[in-house]
């Protein structure tokens, strides 16, 4: 225990979450024979987003930490929206995060037979009935939380008739929407989910795993609790919106007529991020309407999007650790996620020179044909990352914004008559510059001081500004994609009156051509990560080739979160 009585996890010295505490207590009490078994249950109807990562880290993380198991279970109860494309991407993303379900890859559809039998059993026990009314009428009869619902005229149908109709529903005799199977609980329950919920509907659709075997499919609410039970799940961890469904899940498992054990459902708060929408349905709309370039567009909060953007699994896990698990819905500040990736890449990413908006500097007193190889360290945070050779010659590119014709006093970069250090090379002084016809700065003329070569401490000369640069003769052209937030509004779904698309940021992607990079970077492989000094962290894009290197900016170097929270 810590001083303020918060239980402390000895291994990492951070307070354990309320969920972890429940698990610890259950294990200590010897519940379920000391077993812990969790599951991650995605519906294969879209790609995973960072919200799912929160559920993945919890379910797999707890099982891992306490010597248990975690199943991957695809909740494929709705053949209309599901696809194998999604199944494959979900598996890839979970693996990328570093988790393993071993041989425990399950599907709710694996249990369609058992679920059907259970439904039949409920009918036989007078606990379920076929309702011939439309879904709209059934919804109207549901009542409100303060007003009891109305019983269906079919509620007391004879058991034999129910059985006959349910079998015929499955044989394909009736149209979609013409009949449903409902469980008979209590139309006056204060919990709306207990008011005779629908457990089976007719869907004459091919299922990606069971083909045309079924014409009726179980509702998610019917399948979920039983699947947990069939798989021996001890702790069924899910998001808060399922709290009100829990009595139904418990009721259904209770009526399975077995009493060996019960899965325990525990709810936690969803991950929401500012300036982001976190719903597969909305993300699918953005993809289908081509407002982004696919699920893995680097502006998307999907795991494949974040990966392409340059996020590491470690940065995502670290962020999830920082926000923790509570019982209160909130929106997490996206700058905290950005802080986590900066922190991680700061250690991992080698420093390189990349000039995004180049302007040429000619060092007039440097010999025309001379080329020097300068040695630069790759990461001051980690000596083991070594050093590399960088060419220097008479002409170099610097960042256009690092020169000003008429600068204010505090501008410690290049300007007529001022001096800067070219990082790892020399101090240069600007003597003059030339404009092109459009009036833009075309070339800047400098002289260098030979005595100031980096590492030559005797020169004793210091200047305030240090610039990154790339040798003009050696540089390679690259395309760089800069990203801003996809939405301009902190909570794009907050205002129900306004379509969230209206909050899309028209400037969320800026493509720069003709950026200048160190030549060896052209051979870097997709997803390799670098810090372009002073410009941010960058990651090689899948579109990159040695002839046309393409980099995504993961994030700039300015850490607003760290500043605010100092």
Instruction: Decide: is 41 part of the binding site for ligand ATP (CB under 6 A).
Output: yes
Instruction: Decide: is 43 part of the binding site for ligand ATP (CB under 6 A).
Output: yes
Q: How far apart, in whole angstroms, are the C-alpha atoms of residue 202 and residue 76?
A: 15
State the minimum distance, in angstroms, from the CB of residue 291 to ligand ATP: 17
State the minimum distance, in angstroms, from the CB of residue 476 to ligand ATP: 41
Q: Which is nearest to 106 in space by CA: 122, 85, 90?
A: 90
Instruction: State yes or no: is 213 an active-site residue.
Output: no
Number of residues that this document lists for the chain: 566
State the minimum distance, in angstroms, from the CB of residue 152 to ligand ATP: 28
Instruction: Decide: is 540 part of the binding site for ligand ATP (CB under 6 A).
Output: no
Q: Are 330 and 240 in contact (CB under 8 A)?
A: no
What is the token pair recorded at 388?
A: 């590399």
C-alpha dihedral (481, 483, 487, 489), degrees to nearest 10: -150
Instruction: State yes or no: is 147 an active-site residue.
Output: no
What is the token pair recorded at 527?
A: 């997803």
Instruction: Decide: is 227 part of the binding site for ligand ATP (CB under 6 A).
Output: no
> How far, in Å, are 52, 207, 208, 296, 309 from residue 84 at the CA level?
18, 10, 7, 17, 24
Contacts of 125 (CB under 8 A, 6+ apart): 255
Per CB under 6 A, which of residues 436..495 are in contact with ligand ATP? none
Give, in degrees to the nearest 5, the angle at Cα 115 between 109 and 120.
145
Cβ-based nearer residue to ligand ATP, 281 or 563: 281
Q: How far apart, in whole angstroms, are the C-alpha atoms of residue 398 and residue 472?
A: 10
Instruction: Decide: is 83 part of the binding site for ligand ATP (CB under 6 A).
Output: no
Instruction: Decide: is 61 part of the binding site for ligand ATP (CB under 6 A).
Output: no
Catalytic residue among 262, 270, 348, 534: 270
Cβ-based nearer residue to ligand ATP, 283 or 390: 283
What is the token pair recorded at 536?
A: 């941010």
> How far, in Å, are 77, 168, 210, 231, 516 from residue 112 at the CA level?
9, 17, 9, 14, 58
The stretch near ligand ATP (CB under 6 A) out of 270-278, 377-385, 498-506, 552-560 is: 270-278
Instruction: State yes or no: is 289 an active-site residue.
Output: no
The stretch near ligand ATP (CB under 6 A) out of 276-284, 313-321, 383-391, 514-522 is: 276-284
CA 395 to chain centre: 43
Instruction: Decide: is 270 part of the binding site for ligand ATP (CB under 6 A).
Output: yes
Q: How far apart, in whole angstroms, are the C-alpha atoms of residue 131 and residue 252?
A: 19
State the minimum distance, in angstroms, from the CB of residue 193 to ligand ATP: 16
In this chain, which residue has its C-beta nearest to ligand ATP? 51
Selected binder of ligand ATP within 16, 32, 37, 42 (CB under 6 A): 42
Selected binder of ligand ATP within 279, 447, 491, 556 (CB under 6 A): 279
Element (H, E) at 49: none
Cβ-based nearer residue to ligand ATP, 271 or 292: 271
Catalytic residue among 182, 280, 351, 481: 280
What is the token pair recorded at 317?
A: 């896990």
Mark residues 233-252: x for contact with ligand ATP by CB under 6 A, - for none.
-----xx-------------
Selected binder of ligand ATP within 23, 35, 47, 51 (CB under 6 A): 51
Q: Which is nearest to 538 in space by CA: 552, 557, 525?
A: 552
Cβ-based nearer residue to ligand ATP, 51 or 305: 51
415 burial via Cβ count (<10 Å: 0-12, 13-18, 19+)? buried
Q: How far apart, in whole angstroms, are the C-alpha atoms of residue 287 and residue 485?
A: 16
176 burial via Cβ count (<10 Å: 0-12, 13-18, 19+)? exposed
Q: Are strands 536-540 and 529-532 parallel, antiparallel or unpaired?
A: antiparallel
Q: Phi first, then psi: what are they for 371, rounded to 5°?
A: -130, 125
Per CB under 6 A, which of residues 335..354 are in contact with ligand ATP? none
Q: How far apart, in whole angstroms, are the C-alpha atoms of residue 557 and residue 533?
A: 9
Selected binder of ligand ATP within 55, 233, 345, 427 (CB under 6 A): 55
State the minimum distance, in angstroms, from the CB of residue 262 to ligand ATP: 19
State the minimum distance, in angstroms, from the CB of residue 326 to ligand ATP: 12
Catalytic residue among 43, 314, 372, 479: 43
Instruction: Decide: is 273 part of the binding site for ligand ATP (CB under 6 A).
Output: no
State the minimum distance, in angstroms, from the CB of residue 54 to ligand ATP: 4
Mark residues 182-221: x for contact with ligand ATP by CB under 6 A, - for none.
----------------------------------------
Cβ-based nearer residue to ligand ATP, 36 or 55: 55
Could you tell me how many residues of this chain bind ligand ATP (CB under 6 A)? Answer: 15
Per DSSP, helices labelled H in 172-289 are: 220-230, 246-254, 280-288
Q: How far apart, in whole angstroms, are the C-alpha atoms of residue 37 and residue 188?
A: 35
Residues annotated as part of the active site:
43, 270, 280
Name the residues that contact ligand ATP, by CB under 6 A: 41-43, 51-52, 54-55, 238-239, 270-271, 278-281
């Amino acid at each position: 225990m810590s001083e303020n009585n918060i239980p402390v996890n000895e291994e990492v010295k951070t307070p354990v979450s309320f969920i972890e505490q429940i698990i610890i207590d259950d294990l200590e009490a010897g519940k379920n024979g000391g077993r812990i078994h969790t599951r991650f249950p995605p519906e294969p109807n879209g790609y995973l987003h960072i919200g799912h990562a929160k559920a993945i880290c919890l379910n797999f993380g707890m099982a891992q930490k306490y010597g248990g198991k975690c199943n991957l279970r695809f909740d494929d109860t709705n053949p209309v929206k599901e696809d194998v494309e999604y199944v494959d991407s979900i598996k890839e993303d979970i693996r990328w995060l570093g988790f393993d379900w071993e041989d425990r890859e399950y599907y709710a559809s694996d249990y369609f037979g058992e679920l059907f039998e259970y439904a039949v059993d409920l009918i036989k026990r007078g606990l379920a009935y076929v309702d011939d009314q439309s879904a709209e009428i059934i919804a109207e009869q549901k009542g409100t939380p303060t007003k009891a619902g109305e019983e269906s005229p079919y509620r007391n149908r004879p058991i034999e008739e129910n059985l006959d109709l349910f079998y015929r529903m499955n044989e394909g005799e009736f149209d979609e929407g013409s009949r449903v199977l409902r469980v008979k609980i209590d139309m006056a329950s204060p919990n709306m989910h207990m008011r005779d919920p629908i457990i089976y509907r007719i869907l004459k659709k091919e299922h990606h795993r069971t083909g045309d075997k079924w014409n009726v499919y179980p509702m998610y609410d019917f399948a979920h609790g039983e699947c947990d039970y069939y798989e021996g799940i001890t702790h069924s961890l899910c998001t808060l919106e399922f709290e009100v469904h829990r009595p139904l899940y418990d009721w259904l498992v209770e009526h399975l007529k077995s009493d060996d054990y019960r899965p325990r459902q525990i709810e936690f708060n969803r991950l929401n991020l500012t300036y982001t929408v976190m719903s597969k349905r909305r993300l699918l709309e953005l993809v289908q309407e081509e407002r982004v370039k696919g699920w893995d567009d680097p502006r998307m909060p999907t795991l494949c999007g974040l990966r392409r953007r340059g996020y590491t699994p470690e940065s995502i896990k670290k962020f999830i650790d920082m926000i923790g698990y509570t019982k209160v819905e909130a929106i997490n500040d996206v700058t905290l996620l950005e802080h986590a990736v900066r922190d991680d890449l700061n250690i991992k990413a080698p420093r390189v020179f990349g000039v995004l908006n180049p302007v040429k500097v000619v060092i007039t007193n440097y010999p025309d044909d001379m080329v020097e190889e300068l040695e630069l360290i790759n990461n001051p945070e980690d000596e083991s990352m070594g050093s590399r050779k960088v060419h220097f010659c008479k002409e170099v590119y610097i960042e256009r914004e690092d020169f000003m014709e008429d600068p204010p006093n505090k501008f410690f970069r290049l300007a007529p008559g001022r001096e800067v250090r070219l990082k790892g090379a020399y101090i240069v002084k600007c003597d003059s510059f030339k404009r092109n016809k459009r009036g833009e700065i075309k070339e800047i003329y400098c002289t260098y001081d030979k005595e100031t070569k980096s590492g030559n401490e005797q020169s004793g000369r210091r200047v305030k500004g240090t610039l990154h640069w790339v040798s003009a003769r050696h540089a390679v052209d690259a395309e760089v994609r800069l990203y801003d937030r996809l939405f301009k509004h902190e909570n794009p779904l907050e205002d129900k009156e306004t379509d969230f698309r209206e909050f899309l940021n028209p400037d969320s992607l800026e493509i720069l051509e003709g950026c200048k990079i160190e030549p060896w970077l052209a051979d870097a492989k997709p997803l390799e990560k670098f810090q372009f000094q002073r410009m941010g962290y960058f990651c090689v894009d899948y579109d990159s080739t040695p002839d046309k290197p393409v980099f995504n900016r993961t994030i700039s170097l300015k850490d607003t979160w760290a500043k605010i929270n100092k």
